[in-house]
Amino acid sequence: MPPVSKSQPEYDPLDELLKPPPNETEEDRVIRLAQEAEAARISHQIDESIKAERQQQKKKSVVRLLLLGQSESGMCARPFHTLPPN
């Protein structure tokens, strides 16, 4: 791995791993790009699924109330337990 110098402030070591091989053929390049596109599509589907699941959880949040006072005395409702917003 090349040393990081001050002249390369944006050096990312993952760039070395992610760049294509120097002797890549055009056919290999097309295959690699198709695989990357498929991986990106699957990643996007997973992200959307997680987002939808979080929205459903927000809709299912339960609020419990503790009623203070005697029955028939115009009780005051105070939140006893609420789920924090995500």
- Which residue(s) pair with 64 in the sheet? 81
In-domain check, residue 8: no
pTM score over 0.75: no
DSSP 79: E
Three-state DSSP at 10 gives: coil
In-domain check, residue 65: yes
In-domain check, residue 1: no
In-domain check, residue 5: no
Digit-by-digit pLDDT tens for the chain (86 residues) are: 555 555 556 888 888 888 888 899 999 999 999 999 999 999 999 999 999 999 988 887 777 777 666 666 655 555 555 555 55
In-domain check, residue 28: yes
Identify the pLDDT of residue 16: 82
In-domain check, residue 4: no
In-domain check, residue 3: no
Residue whose C-alpha is closest to residue 82's, from 55, 64, 68, 60: 64
Q: How many domains does the chain have?
A: 1
Domain that holds residue 33: 13-82
In-domain check, residue 41: yes
Tokens matching residue 40: 């990106």
Query: CA–CA separation, 8 vs 1, rounded Å?
Result: 14
